[in-house]
């Protein structure tokens, strides 16, 4: 599955295309500087500057903004990577992808595997695609700290110490605060937030010892904007966002591992079964993303071996400003977006969350993903399959 390299994204001509054109022309010093040099060192250019002083003034401002943008990006990149470089030997790196049995996670796995990179999939679902020899699948209930610890030990023994961890698994319930049960909310946080802690606690120590590696946190633009019927999801993604920021700070100040990279992904609505029925009310500025679009952005960043924040689509980068807007505007926007989840019918991998947690509390084998049946799942998958971690 080759990477998409066309001028237009898979989503077509959208707001991001306009931003791309502006970045590559008006805000690109490589384009604007030669134009200004022509106005200074050629007769026609000098005449144009005299006849069009306002346009000439704006051209100089564009160059200034472009240079400032370039300097800002340079320092951001250096600071994010602690001013130190690192090299990745892709014949030796080991990438762990949670929720990698299908969807976005599955595409990440396949893109990496096609490049000869060794990939470990942690998912309780079976793989939904033919696995290459360098793809290692481990059935794992990420909501169980005990199970994850056992599986992580198997990974280290059978494959080796992972050098890159992509926390991709996520779930959404689509219920209001009053309609959601305690276990609905607990399940959302177990998958979307707490699993990030458990996987990082298992695999980060080896990265710290080697001062080499990467942790990718797949959050969401919902970390910035909370709408009705998505409160638990947004809260869990905001927590994952904060987890990334804290992990980044601790790597630099507590673990003496400046070469361990961190990547944060804030993606918008993506057309996976998880969000079936989601009503997209801003298709130009916030278009529905293809899973491959998100997967390729993550893989490209991983292959760079650098820390960064990926915001998809680009216009979503304006959403954090919402926190500084007047409350009359914030509340109005959230109320307006109440239509987004009205027709939600996303895939419920866990049909009976109550039953699942009852089994875990009883300490039955089903809770550890060893025996049992589990409603709504394929026969023989096991009760642990009721905790399938669907790729966001």
**DSSP category for residue 377:** S
User: Which residues span the domain enclosing 284?
Assistant: 94-339
Same domain for 21 and 108?
Answer: no
User: Is the separation of the CB atoms in 322 and 225 below 8 Å?
Assistant: yes
**DSSP category for residue 348:** -
User: Under the phi-then-psi rule, with left for phi > 0, alpha for psi from -120 to 50, and beta for the rest, what region is 378?
Assistant: beta
Same domain for 27 and 164?
Answer: no
Same domain for 54 and 187?
Answer: no
- Number of structural domains in the chain: 2
Q: Nearest-CA neighbor of 82 among 249, 216, 202?
A: 249
Structure pTM?
A: 0.90
Catalytic residue among 233, 269, 278, 357: 233
Peptide bond into 199 cis (omega under 30): no
Average pLDDT (130-137) is: 96
Burial (CB < 10 A; 0-12, 13-18, 19+), residue 143, is buried
- At which of 53, 80, 107 does a domain end? 80
Q: Does a structural domain hold residue 119?
A: yes
* pLDDT(377) > 50: no
Same domain for 166 and 57?
Answer: no
Residue labelled with tokens 């022309």: 25
Question: Percent of the chain at pLDDT above 90?
Answer: 79
Residue labelled with tokens 């001028």: 7
Residues 6+ apart with CB under 8 A from 68: none
pLDDT band at 365 (very low <50, low <70, confident <90, very high): very low
Average pLDDT (89-115) is: 96
Same domain for 74 and 24?
Answer: yes
Q: What is the pLDDT of residues 196-252, one digit of tens each?
A: 999 999 999 999 999 999 999 999 999 999 999 999 999 999 999 999 999 999 999
Same domain for 140 and 220?
Answer: yes
233 is catalytic: yes
Same domain for 27 and 119?
Answer: no
* pLDDT(87) > 90: yes
d(CA 94, CA 135): 10
Same domain for 31 and 131?
Answer: no
Residues 6+ apart with CB under 8 A from 213: 162, 163, 164, 165, 204, 206, 207, 259, 260, 261
3 state SS of 156: helix
* pLDDT at residue 364, as a whole number: 55
Is beta strand 94-98 parallel, antiparallel or unpaired with respect to 135-139?
A: unpaired
Same domain for 179 and 72?
Answer: no
Q: What is the pLDDT of residues 241-294, one digit of tens each?
A: 999 999 999 999 999 999 999 999 999 999 988 888 888 888 999 999 999 999
């Amino acid at each position: 599955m080759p990477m998409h390299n066309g001028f237009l994204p898979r989503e077509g001509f959208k707001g991001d295309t306009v931003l791309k054109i502006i970045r590559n022309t008006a805000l690109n010093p490589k384009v604007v500087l030669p134009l200004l040099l022509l106005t200074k060192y050629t007769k026609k250019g000098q005449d144009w500057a005299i006849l069009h002083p306002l346009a000439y003034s704006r051209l100089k401002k564009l160059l200034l903004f472009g240079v400032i943008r370039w300097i800002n990006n340079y320092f951001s990149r250096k600071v994010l990577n602690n001013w130190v470089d690192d090299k990745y030997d892709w014949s030796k790196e080991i990438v762990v992808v949670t929720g990698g049995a299908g969807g976005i996670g599955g595409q990440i796995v396949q893109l990496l595997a096609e490049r000869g990179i060794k990939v470990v999939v942690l998912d309780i679902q079976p793989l939904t695609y033919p696995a290459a020899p360098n793809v290692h699948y481990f059935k794992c209930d990420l909501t169980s700290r005990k199970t994850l610890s056992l599986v992580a030990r198997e990974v280290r023994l059978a494959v080796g110490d992972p050098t890159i961890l992509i926390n991709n698994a996520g779930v959404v319930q689509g219920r209001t605060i009053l309609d959601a049960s305690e276990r609905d909310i607990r399940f959302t946080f177990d998958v979307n937030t707490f699993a990030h802690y458990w996987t990082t606690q298992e695999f980060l120590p080896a990265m710290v010892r080697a001062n080499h590696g990467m942790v990718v946190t797949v959050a969401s633009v919902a970390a910035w904007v909370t709408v009705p019927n998505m409160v638990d999801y947004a809260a869990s993604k905001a927590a994952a966002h904060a987890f990334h920021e804290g992990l980044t700070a601790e790597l630099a100040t507590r673990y003496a591992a400046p070469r361990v990279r961190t990547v944060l992904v804030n993606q918008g609505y993506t057309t996976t079964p998880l969000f079936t029925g989601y009503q997209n009310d801003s298709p130009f500025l916030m278009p529905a993303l293809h899973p491959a679009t998100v997967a390729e952005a993550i893989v490209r960043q991983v292959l760079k071996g650098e820390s960064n924040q990926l915001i998809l689509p680009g216009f979503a980068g304006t959403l954090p400003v919402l926190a500084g807007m007047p409350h009359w505007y914030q509340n109005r926007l959230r109320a307006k977006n109440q239509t987004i989840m009205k027709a939600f019918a996303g895939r419920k991998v866990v049909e009976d969350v109550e039953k699942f947690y009852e089994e875990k509390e009883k300490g039955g084998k089903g809770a550890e993903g060893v025996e049992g049946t589990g409603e709504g799942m394929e026969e023989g998958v096991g009760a642990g399959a009721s905790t399938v971690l669907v790729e966001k």
